[in-house]
């Protein structure tokens, strides 16, 4: 299949979902391999990720040279998911959607946020990844169980991972003859040369160079050798693109300039959040708290996403010039929004698991301690309990939390703006810390869960400008 044949005819895009029978089956490896192999054929590949993950999309982006987008049926409405999919699939030849956890795993009690829910919403067929290590004919039972569990979910093909060799795959192939409607598409062999190292929150990130070009090329070659890509593309849905989706970035009359922390320590952002800020009228100026000595010229607000500040605590702390610049910005009542790792950076200190304590910005009167276990994990629904930079009291939003740290001192001198309901355990807590112009939280909010969030952010910055607050320096 050539790019020319993929792009001929009406506005359509081939698409498929790469799903796992469980976490740890190797669906990220398979998805990255398929992306790399299709791109090596000259196709434009648009990557997507089901669920709230940040790390996998970073690797997708590195392989496809296009930003990966999150699709999530719990955090975001059906309309917003369709819009995001159509908008970005429209300019590609094929879209590859990597699933989350096992195919049917989602929010507790509802299945929302699952790979199956996303595939059904978009009408896109599923390629199931099954870890075949130590399995023979029993693999057919796994495939048949998934294929028949929910008649509304279409499993078009299966790719086996960690296969011992051609004879092992032949055994799997023969076993799957008893599973009608599911096409075996090939396999990936066990290969110790292909491995992305992990740490406490998952894989190493793309920003840390976890994927070399040689590794990506090697994986693409394995897929080309062992997976029937032509058959896969034939099975892929030819999705009609909605011409009503407006991809234009609409600027407000008075655009604002927002500095966005982006480096190895701060790399957890939903790309749609950044797009939403641009549509609301923001110009985004990236900067590195690790490497830069000053904030970008003329910024009127700062956005600190999540990431691994605990891993980079020493260089973050040693960059005294940047810490002073951020602290000075805060002291001048600058607008700052921070999530998870960003909250940690704004704290007074961070204590690592090794016992070292590192001074941070000191914009929030809190101390952060790293722990050996997850402190909060899962979806969260937020209701604003007071007016803040994201909206008026009563505004709702959805997001996700996933962190190994905790605040280790009483919350004095901080107002609380969030009432959070944990979707997993149905617990409520107050959070969303406000001090001066700062709003910080452990929750990663998805701005598409409420389109007013980004608009409110920009309008809040405009209000500060009109009140006479100066920028970092003249633009």
Rg value, the chain, Cα: 23
- For the sheet with 367-370, list strands across it: 357-359, 349-351, 367-370, 405-407
Per the structure block, which two tokens stand in for 411?
């919350």
Sign of the C-alpha dihedral computed for residues 46, 51, 52 and 57 taken in this order: negative
Of the chain, the end-to-end C-alpha distance in Å amounts to: 49
Per the structure block, which two tokens stand in for 458?
């920009």
Per the structure block, which two tokens stand in for 324?
């002073």
Q: Of 155, 180, 175, 151, give the one whose Cα is nearest residue 163.
A: 175
Q: DSSP readout, 172-193? A: HHHHGGGSTT-EEEEEEE--TT
The answer to whether residues 420 and 445 touch, using CB atoms and an 8 Å cutoff, is no
* Phi, psi (deg, nearest 5) at residue 338: -135, 140
Q: Looking at 164-249, which runs of residues are DSSP E strands?
A: 183-189, 198-199, 202-203, 237-240
Distance, CA of 151 to CA of 146 (rounded, Å): 10
How many Å separate Cα 140 from the centre of its chain? Answer: 32
Q: Which residues of 324-352 are buried (b: 16+ CB within 10 A; e: fewer)?
A: ebbeebbeeebbbbbbbbbbbbbbbbbbb
Quickly tell me which residue has 């004095």 as its tokens: 412
Distance, CA of 449 to CA of 74 (rounded, Å): 9
**Active-site residue set:** 340
Helix axes 213-226, 27-40, angle to 10 degrees: 90
Q: DSSP readout, 357-419? A: EEE---SSS-EEEE-SS-SEEEEEEEEESS-BTTBSTT-EEEEEEEESEEE-S---S-EEEEE
């Amino acid at each position: 299949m050539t790019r020319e044949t993929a792009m001929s005819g009406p506005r359509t895009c081939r698409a498929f979902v790469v799903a796992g029978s469980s976490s740890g089956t190797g669906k990220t490896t398979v998805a990255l391999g398929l992306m790399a192999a299709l791109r090596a054929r000259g196709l434009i590949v648009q990557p997507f990720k089901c669920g709230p993950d940040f790390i996998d999309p970073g690797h997708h982006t590195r392989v496809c040279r296009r930003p990966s987008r999150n699709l999530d049926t719990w955090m975001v409405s059906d309309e917003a998911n369709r819009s995001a999919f159509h908008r970005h699939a429209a300019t590609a030849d094929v879209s590859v959607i990597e699933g989350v956890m096992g195919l049917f795993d989602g929010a507790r009690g509802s299945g929302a946020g699952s790979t199956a829910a996303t595939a059904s919403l978009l009408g896109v067929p599923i390629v199931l990844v099954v870890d075949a290590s130590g399995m023979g004919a029993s693999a057919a039972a796994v495939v048949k169980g998934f294929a028949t569990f929910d008649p509304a979910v279409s499993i078009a093909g299966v790719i086996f991972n960690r296969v011992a060799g051609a004879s092992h795959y032949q055994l799997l192939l023969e076993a799957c003859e008893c599973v009608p409607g599911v096409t075996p598409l090939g396999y990936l062999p066990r290969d110790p040369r292909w491995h992305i190292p992990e740490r406490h929150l998952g894989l190493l990130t793309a920003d840390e160079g976890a994927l070399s070009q040689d590794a990506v090329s090697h994986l693409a070659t394995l897929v080309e050798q062992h997976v029937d890509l032509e058959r896969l593309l034939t099975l892929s849905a030819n999705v009609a693109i909605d011409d009503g989706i407006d991809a234009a970035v609409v600027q407000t009359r008075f655009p604002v300039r927002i500095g966005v922390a982006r480096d190895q320590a701060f790399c957890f952002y939903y790309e749609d959040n950044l797009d939403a800020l641009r549509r609301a009228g923001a110009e985004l100026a990236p900067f590195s708290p690790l490497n830069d000595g000053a904030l970008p010229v003329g910024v009127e607000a700062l956005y600190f996403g999540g990431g691994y500040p605990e891993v980079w605590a020493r260089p973050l702390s040693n960059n005294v010039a940047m810490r002073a610049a951020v602290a000075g910005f805060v002291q001048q009542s600058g607008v700052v929004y921070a999530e998870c790792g960003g909250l940690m950076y704004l704290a007074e200190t961070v204590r690592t698991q090794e016992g070292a304590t590192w001074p941070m910005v000191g914009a929030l009167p809190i101390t952060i301690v790293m722990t050996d276990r997850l402190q909060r994990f899962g979806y969260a629904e937020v209701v604003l309990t007071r007016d803040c930079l994201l909206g008026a009291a009563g505004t709702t939003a959805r997001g996700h939390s996933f962190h190994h740290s905790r605040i280790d001192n009483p919350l004095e001198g901080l107002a609380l703006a969030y009432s959070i309901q944990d979707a997993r355990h149905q617990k409520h807590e107050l959070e969303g810390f406000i001090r001066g112009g700062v709003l910080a939280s452990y929750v990663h909010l998805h701005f598409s869960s409420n389109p007013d969030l980004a608009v409110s952010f920009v309008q809040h910055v405009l209000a500060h400008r009109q009140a006479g607050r100066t920028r970092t320096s003249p633009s």
